[in-house]
Amino acid sequence: MTQERRGRWRLSVSEEFSASHQLRHYEGKCERMHGHNFGVVAEVQGDTLSQDTELLMDFKVLRGHLKDALAALDHRHLNEVACFAERNPSSENIARFLYGELAARLAGSGVEVVGVTVAEKPGQSATYFEVAP
């Protein structure tokens, strides 16, 4: 007997923020303060649509959560933001920070964060996601 497949939905929204940072211990130009217009893509997933609108989550709501998370970083020097006091404000660590922020904001919503991708410029990005142990 074959097992019936279960469907899931995955949504993504993208936003940008501007900030400066310095990469500690980099031993190159990026160790000096410089700035980026960072691109961010957040992906969420779930398996239940709302009964009334048949949406997993309204894109406007998801984008609002992402914008709220980005508010702590936008137009800041990231090395001075508390979450980067010990960690380097690399794209990898920015993605991990935003993943945690979104996961906390979406707790109990029936939607889970799949991953967050951060790009310092087109053509290069870092994605953070979590896997079960």
**Superfamily of structural domain 9-24+35-128:** 6-pyruvoyl tetrahydropterin synthase/QueD (3.30.479.10)
- Please check whether residue 21 is in contact with residue 81, taking contact to mean a CB–CB distance below 8 angstroms: no
Instruction: Please tell me the predicted confidence (pLDDT) of residue 93.
Output: 98
- Please check whether residue 5 is in contact with residue 77, taking contact to mean a CB–CB distance below 8 angstroms: no
Strand ranges for 9-132 from DSSP E:
9-21, 34-46, 76-77, 112-121, 124-128
The residue type of 13 is V
Instruction: Please tell me the predicted confidence (pLDDT) of residue 12.
Output: 98
> How many angstroms separate the CA atoms of 44 and 104, rounded?
13
> In sequence order, which ranges of the chain are alpha helices (DSSP H)?
59-70, 91-106
Residue 74 has pLDDT above 80, yes or no: yes
Two tokens, residue 43: 């992906």
Q: What is the mean pLDDT of residues 81-108?
A: 97
Q: What is the mean pLDDT of residues 86-100?
A: 97
**Catalytic residue positions, numbered:** 30, 75, 120
Q: Is the pTM of this model over 0.85?
A: yes
> How many angstroms separate the CA atoms of 41 and 44, rounded?
10
Instruction: Please tell me the predicted confidence (pLDDT) of residue 1.
Output: 63
Longest distance between any two alpha carbons in the chain, whole Å:
62
Give the model confidence (pLDDT) of 51-72 as tens digits.
999 999 999 999 999 999 999 9
Residue 123 has pLDDT above 90, yes or no: yes
- Backbone phi, psi, residue 94, to 5°: -65, -45
| Domain range summary for the chain, segments of one domain joined by + | 9-24+35-128
Give the model confidence (pLDDT) of 1-53 as tens digits.
667 788 899 999 999 999 999 999 999 999 999 999 999 999 999 999 999 99
